Amino acid sequence: MLYLVGLGLSDETDITVRGLEVVKKASRVYLEAYTSILLVDQSVLVSLLPPLHPY
């Protein structure tokens, strides 16, 4: 299943609750940072995710 989740307008607190739940359950997460302006460091976004498990 493919989900597109927006990060909102400003920082990590603008993601919706449902969007964060989907991201936490995903086996892969891609951050598109080429055409969007991130106002938060990528490491802050990664800290919202559960620890990665090597496959």
pLDDT tens digits, 3-50:
999 887 777 888 899 999 998 888 888 888 788 778 888 888 888 888
Q: In this structure, what DSSP letter does residue 48 have?
A: T
The Cα angle at residue 53 between residues 32 and 15, in degrees rounded to 5: 35
Q: Are 47 and 54 in contact (CB under 8 A)?
A: no
Structural domain boundaries in the chain:
1-55
The Cβ-side half-sphere exposure at 52, using a 13 Å CA radius, reads 7
Q: Are 24 and 49 in contact (CB under 8 A)?
A: yes
Residue 55: per-residue pLDDT: 57
Which of 45, 54, 50 shows the shortest CA–CA distance to 26? 50
Q: How confident is the model at residue 53 (pLDDT cuts 50, 70, 90)?
A: low
